[in-house]
Amino acid sequence: MPIEMPKGLPFSVDTFSPSSKRKRHHFLTHAHKDHTSGISSHFSYPIYSTHLTKSLVLLHYPQLDDSLFVGIEVGESIVINDPDEEFQVTAFDSNHCPGAVMFLFEGSFGNILHTGDCRLMPECLQNLPEKYIGRKGKEPQCCFDYVFLDCTFGRFSRNLPSKHSSIRQRTTEICLPYADNIFFSHYHFKWRRGWGGILCIFFLLIVMFYNLN
Ligand SMILES: [Zn+2]
């Protein structure tokens, strides 16, 4: 669940409340509805997000203007010219839905990792800068001052299915009435009914974009 950034920070992440609106820079980790709540009445430039996240948001909120968004892609660093002092932000894959990223902020306020929603696998951590995680037996050179971590399932006692098995399960549920054969390993589908198949692809894309965690 998104939370407001502390008052001293010049940016917001995934919140579009009146108090967030007073921040000078806005970041959006991904396009899920609980992270875009309030964005339709939020017209403050700029909102930093990936291109895919922006496209999904604009589909849902066509009243928003494309020019509100500034693109940042996985692995990209941007220096933000803030009136107080410039800071740097870098986007990393959060292994969540398509377009989802986590943000690493580095500035005079400290080093802050905001994960948004994430499926934090070892590979995700390996993508972070070496100075924070260390490699090949080396100790990290510095640490994060703050980590904002989404803990929706932090106390969930049952095992969560893998991302791959979730996709497989949803695909089966949606497509089975229409498909003669589904070959997941090659993402090849053989359709029994023309329009049914097309609708099936449509709903499959919707599910993959919005429902998978
Ligand atoms: Zn999400």
User: Looking at 47-202, which runs of residues are DSSP E strands?
Assistant: 47-49, 69-71, 77-80, 87-93, 101-107, 110-114, 146-148, 179-183, 188-191
What is the predicted pLDDT for the residue at 170? 79
pLDDT in the model for residue 55: 97
Crossing angle (nearest 10°) for helices 194-210 and 163-175? 150
Distance (angstroms) between ligand 1 centre and the Cα of 77 equals 23
Per-residue model confidence (pLDDT) at position 178: 63
**Could you tell me the distance, in angstroms and rounded to a whole number, from the CA of residue 112 to the centre of ligand 1?**
20
pLDDT at residue 186, rounded to an integer: 41
- Which CATH architecture describes the domain 11-148? 4-Layer Sandwich (3.60)
The length of the chain in residues reads 213
Alpha-carbon gap, residue 108 to 82, rounded angstroms = 11
Residue 213: per-residue pLDDT: 47
Question: What is the 184 CA–ligand 1 centroid distance (Å)?
Answer: 24
Return the pLDDT at 179. 61
Q: From first to last of its 213 residues, what are the pLDDT tens digits of the chain? A: 788 888 889 999 999 988 888 899 999 999 999 999 999 886 678 999 999 999 999 999 999 999 999 999 999 999 999 999 999 999 999 999 999 999 999 999 999 999 999 888 888 888 999 999 887 778 889 999 999 987 777 777 778 777 788 888 878 887 766 665 555 544 444 444 456 556 656 666 665 655 544
Contact 45, 65 (CB under 8 A): no
Distance 190 CA to ligand 1 centre (A): 31
Cα 117 to the center of its chain, rounded Å: 6
CA 181 to ligand 1 centroid distance, Å: 31
Distance 213 CA to ligand 1 centre (A): 6
Q: What is the CA(30)–ligand 1 centre distance, in A?
A: 7
pLDDT at 187: 45
Q: How far is the CA of 194 from the centre of ligand 1 (A)?
A: 32
What ranges do the domains of the chain cover?
A: 11-148, 163-210
Task: State the Cα–Cα distance between residues 17 and 81, nearest whole angstrom.
Answer: 23
pTM for the full predicted model: 0.77
1 CA to middle of ligand 1, Å? 9
Residue-wise over 23-33: b if at least 16 C-beta within 10 A, else e? bebbbbbbbbe
Instruction: Name the DSSP letter for residue 77.
Output: E
Dist. CA 6 → ligand 1 center (Å): 22
